[in-house]
Amino acid sequence: MAGPASAIIVGGSSGDGTNNAGEAGLQTVLQNSALPVFPYFGNMLRYSDASGIYLGYNANTMEGWVLSAEHITEGTGVKIGGYTYSFIDPQPANSNVNGTRIVSSSVNTDLILYKFSVTGSNPVPSLPKVEIIDSAPEVGSLLIMAGRGMRLGAGTGSEDVTAPYSWGTPGTSDTVPMRWGFNQVEFGYTDPAGAKYLVTDFDAPGLGTGIDGQAALGDSGGGAFIFNQGSWKLGGVTYATADGPDADALANPAGYGDYTFFTNVYAYRSEITALTGTLVPEPSSMLLGGFGVLALALRRKR
């Protein structure tokens, strides 16, 4: 592993991914592929110098919850829908200054939960509750990966020198657009400490999903939403990148064959929900027009 990465780089149909920033292009691809709309684009946030996911709020406690990666630079709050919400210091033993680390069977994960009050001047965000996947993600599952990282353009050292993607610096501006890509679960991985991950492989245009994404600087804490039982469900949180099978030891610039590691949210679902309680509102209903051209076009390489 290259170590925890603190953007979604997208090969795209032409290899440049220029249309993969913002929501409109994503929804168009889904519609053309007869896949359901993606309801969580507004839930994906800038948190500190990287990314986070607004999960929803608890109507009993009037607290909202944000899930992110513990290794990124800690912030004191988050902006959602134009309002700034300050995090509430939780103070338990497995907490840092503002958030609560997710611990399972004495294994520290890279997941961290932040809570904030939705009483007073800041309203409840007008966003759906994120549905967390409730079954183990299968190898080959289609997913949407998203984050607010950037790339600078072509480099020279990569697995494929004709299409390397250099990492840019996302900074802390809210004007940095959320970038997205598709991918599929390549394999599961458990590290020596026992933490569990999902791994994707960055394929060149025309392979894999045809619009494969790869994480880079600024994408940590962003979500991987898996197509599961007819809808999109949160299955992973961006953790790290790693070199691919050619073992050239390069993950920046990113090249085809590189890996993205996501903390496996399903493995820690009970720990997350024990902290948040029941979140609302429920996602709006979505019509499904079939499994979709994109999903049917997936080709396994190994």
Residue 22 lies inside a defined structural domain of this protein: yes
What does the pLDDT average to over 265-277?
A: 95
Which phi and psi (to 5°) does residue 265 adopt?
-65, -35
User: 237: closest CA among 79, 112, 105?
Assistant: 112
- What's the pLDDT at 219? 86
- Band of pLDDT at residue 213, cut at 50, 70 and 90: confident
* Same domain (yes/no): 233, 152: yes
pLDDT of residue 256 exceeding 70, the answer is yes
The total number of structural domains in the chain stands at 2
* Same domain (yes/no): 113, 207: no
* Same domain (yes/no): 195, 249: yes
Contact 203, 289 (CB under 8 A): no
Residue 292 lies inside a defined structural domain of this protein: no
* Same domain (yes/no): 192, 67: no
- Residue 232 structure tokens: 């999109």
Cα angle 237-270-197, degrees, rounded to a multiple of 5: 35
Distance, CA of 168 to CA of 203 (rounded, Å): 20
* Same domain (yes/no): 204, 98: no
- What's the pLDDT at 290? 38
CATH number of the domain to which 206 belongs? 2.40.10.10
What does the pLDDT average to over 237-243?
A: 89
Residue 299 lies inside a defined structural domain of this protein: no
- Residue 165 structure tokens: 């993607």
pTM: 0.86
Query: pLDDT by residue (tens digit) across 157-204?
Result: 333 445 556 666 666 667 767 888 899 999 999 999 999 999 999 887
Distance, CA of 52 to CA of 57 (rounded, Å): 15
Residue 291 lies inside a defined structural domain of this protein: no
pLDDT of residue 237 exceeding 50, the answer is yes
pLDDT of residue 297 exceeding 70, the answer is no
What does the pLDDT average to over 29-49?
A: 92
What does the pLDDT average to over 27-43?
A: 93
* Same domain (yes/no): 66, 187: no
Average confidence score pLDDT of the chain: 79
Give the residue numbers spanning the domain of 160: 9-41+131-267
* Same domain (yes/no): 65, 160: no
What does the pLDDT average to over 212-225?
A: 87
* Same domain (yes/no): 15, 61: no
Average the pLDDT over each of 80-84, 144-148, 178-182, 286-290 and give the range with the smallest value: 286-290
* Same domain (yes/no): 151, 242: yes
* Same domain (yes/no): 141, 259: yes
Residue 210 lies inside a defined structural domain of this protein: yes
Query: pLDDT by residue (tens digit) across 61-119?
Result: 999 999 999 988 888 899 998 899 999 876 555 555 678 888 888 888 999 999 999 88
- What's the pLDDT at 298? 42
Residue 298 lies inside a defined structural domain of this protein: no
Residue 289 lies inside a defined structural domain of this protein: no
Average the pLDDT over each of 154-163, 169-178, 215-224, 228-237 and give the range with the smallest value: 154-163
* Same domain (yes/no): 114, 90: yes
Residue 3 lies inside a defined structural domain of this protein: no
* Same domain (yes/no): 93, 116: yes
pLDDT of residue 143 exceeding 60, the answer is yes
Q: What is the CA radius of gyration of the chain?
A: 18
